[in-house]
Amino acid sequence: MIDVNVQPTLPNATAIGGDVGDYFALLKPRVMSLVIFTALVGMVAAPGPLNPIIAAVGLLCIAVGAGASGALNMWYDADIDARMARTAARPIPRGQVTADEALTFGTILSVFAVVTLGLLVNWVSGAILAFTIFFYIVVYTMWLKRRTPQNIVIGGAAGAFPPLLGWATVTGTVSLDSVLLFAIIFLWTPPHFWALALYRCRDYERVGVPMLPVVAGADETRRQILLYAFAFVAASLTPYAIGLGGVSYLATATVLGIVFLALSASVYRTREGREADVVAKRLFLFSILHLFALFAVLLVEHIVARVMA
- pLDDT tens string, the chain, 309 residues long: the values are 334 343 434 444 455 567 899 999 999 999 999 999 999 999 999 999 999 999 999 999 999 999 999 999 999 999 999 999 889 999 999 999 999 999 999 999 999 999 999 999 999 999 999 999 999 999 999 999 999 999 999 998 999 999 999 999 999 999 999 999 999 999 999 999 999 999 999 899 999 999 999 999 999 999 999 999 999 999 999 999 999 999 999 999 999 999 999 999 999 999 888 899 999 999 999 999 999 999 999 999 999 999 997
DSSP structure string for the chain: ---TT--PPPP--------HHHHHHHT-HHHHHHHHHHHHHHHHHSSS---HHHHHHHHHHHHHHHHHHHHHHHHHTHHHHTT-TTTTTSTTTTTSS-HHHHHHHHHHHHHHHHHHHHHHT-HHHHHHHHHHHHIIIIIIIIIITTT-TTHHHHHTHHHH-HHHHHHHHHHSS--HHHHHHHHHHHHHHHHHHHHHHHHTHHHHHHHT---HHHHT-HHHHHHHHHHHHHHHHHHHHHHHHTTSS-HHHHHHHHHHHHHHHHHHHHHHH--SHHHHHHHHHHHHHHHHHHHHHHHHHHHHHHHHHHHH-
> Under 8 Å CB-to-CB from 289, ≥6 apart: which residues?
none
Query: Are 22 and 157 within one domain?
Result: yes
Query: Are 60 and 130 within one domain?
Result: yes
Whether 7 is covered by a domain: the verdict is: no
Query: Are 297 and 180 within one domain?
Result: yes
Q: Of the residues 153, 173, 193, which one is the last residue of a structural domain? A: 173
Query: Are 130 and 144 within one domain?
Result: yes
Query: Are 305 and 224 within one domain?
Result: yes
Q: What CATH number should be reported for the domain holding residue 69?
A: 1.10.357.140
Domain count of the fold of the chain: 2
| pLDDT on residue 287 | 98
Q: CA-to-CA distance for 72 and 68, rounded, in angstroms?
A: 6
Residues 37/292, Cβ–Cβ less than 8 Å: yes
pTM of the shown model: 0.92
Whether 179 is covered by a domain: the verdict is: yes
Whether 270 is covered by a domain: the verdict is: yes
| pLDDT on residue 17 | 60
Backbone angles phi, psi at 172, to 5 degrees: 75, 15
b/e per residue 142-153 (b: at least 16 CB within 10 A): eebbbebbebbb
Q: Of the residues 141, 156, 173, which one is the last residue of a structural domain? A: 173
Whether 3 is covered by a domain: the verdict is: no
Measured in whole angstroms, how far is the alpha carbon of residue 136 from the centre of its chain?
Answer: 10
Query: Are 52 and 168 within one domain?
Result: yes
| pLDDT on residue 272 | 85
Whether 10 is covered by a domain: the verdict is: no
Query: Are 242 and 169 within one domain?
Result: no
Whether 4 is covered by a domain: the verdict is: no
| pLDDT on residue 18 | 75
Whether 28 is covered by a domain: the verdict is: yes
Q: Of the residues 154, 173, 192, which one is the last residue of a structural domain? A: 173
Query: Are 198 and 115 within one domain?
Result: no
Q: Which domain holds residue 255?
A: 175-309
Query: Are 161 and 22 within one domain?
Result: yes
Q: CA-to-CA distance for 205 and 41, rounded, in angstroms?
A: 37
| pLDDT on residue 3 | 42
Query: Are 134 and 93 within one domain?
Result: yes
Query: Are 276 and 136 within one domain?
Result: no
Whether 115 is covered by a domain: the verdict is: yes
Query: Are 244 and 161 within one domain?
Result: no
